Structure 1
Amino acid sequence: METVFGSILSALGAGLPVLLLQMAVTLVLLAAGVAVYTRITPFDEARLVADGNPAGGLTLGGSIVALAIPLAATLATSTVILDIILWGVVAVILQLVAFAVATLLIRDLRGQIEGGNVASATTLVGIQIGVALINAAAMAG
């Protein structure tokens, strides 16, 4: 019994540092993606959320999820840190392009979101998450 428990502890000791490093790298990519996203949007998500604007909160939360989905696929299918970084950057760029395209499809997006229009925010989030799922599937191969 001790040998089974010992082998489990040994595997955990070898695998846990790798897991934590890969997760940390992916979280840094997510944070960087969110930082870039909040810089390129025509509205101030932090202010909108602080002001209790539901459209702003929905847009920011949905964007975080949309950025995380393809990063999660990259993390799940890659075992090398450089691979996670490279494909993670590609995933973030594709999601930012999806946002840029969505802004062209939704008329007066800034005014809609700042005005608290949840319907416009939901449409934006739907586009972003839809692209994220396709992005993740493409990353996973």
Structure 2
Amino acid sequence: MPPELQSPEIQAFATGFPITLLHIAVTMLILVLAAGIYILLTPHKEISLIREGNSAAAVSLGGVLLGLSIPLATSLARSTSMLEIALWGAAAVALQLLVFRLVDMMLRGLPQRIQEGEVAAAALLVGAKLATAVIIAAAVSG
């Protein structure tokens, strides 16, 4: 083997890269599962609405993905185990569902507003989700 391939940096990369890919894959799986749970538990059907061209539903679902991915990314960077990443993912889903309910209480009829394509309501929801995500991420990073 050429000496440059035996350097500590190359060896560390060769050892660490598969583990990094595994962590990324597990975190992405958690993101997909968490988004799926969120979609199932909200009263409107975002995917169907998006397929019909509903911008408010697309904005809302995009906010969910960002709101979940921010704490998951921080957890991925700071955690020492897959279990820890999964626990923070579950916490993020629970808190994002709570944020949905709080914005719904404030605006009254949030699911209906999103179904009707009201982007203003969806934008407020996204803002609340992102604010919550940033706070969760800060809590994860200690």
Q: Does the alignment reach a TM-score above 0.5?
A: yes
- Name the counterpart of 1:20: 21
C-alpha deviation, 1:4, in angstroms: 7.1
Whole-Å separation in 2 of the counterparts to 1:66 and 1:87: 12
Whole-Å separation in 2 of the counterparts to 1:14 and 1:36: 34
- Name the counterpart of 1:9: 10
Counterpart amino acid of residue 110 in structure 1: P
C-alpha deviation, 1:79, in angstroms: 2.5
Counterpart amino acid of residue 26 in structure 2: V
SS in 2 for 1:95: helix
- Name the counterpart of 1:87: 88
Unaligned runs of 5+ residues in structure 2 are none
User: Does structure 1 residue 106 correspond to structure 2 residue 107?
Assistant: yes
Counterpart amino acid of residue 49 in structure 1: I
Whole-Å separation in 1 of the counterparts to 2:5 and 2:14: 14
Counterpart amino acid of residue 114 in structure 2: I
Whole-Å separation in 2 of the counterparts to 1:52 and 1:38: 17
Q: Identity of aligned pairs, percent?
A: 40
- Name the counterpart of 1:52: 53
- Name the counterpart of 2:120: 119
- Name the counterpart of 1:96: 97
Whole-Å separation in 1 of the counterparts to 2:47 and 2:7: 48
Number of corresponding residues: 141
CA 1:91–1:110 in structure 2 vs 1: closer, same or farther (change >3 Å)? Answer: closer
Q: Please say if residues 5 and 11 of structure 2, whose CA atoms lie closer than 8 Å, have aligned partners that are also in contact.
A: no
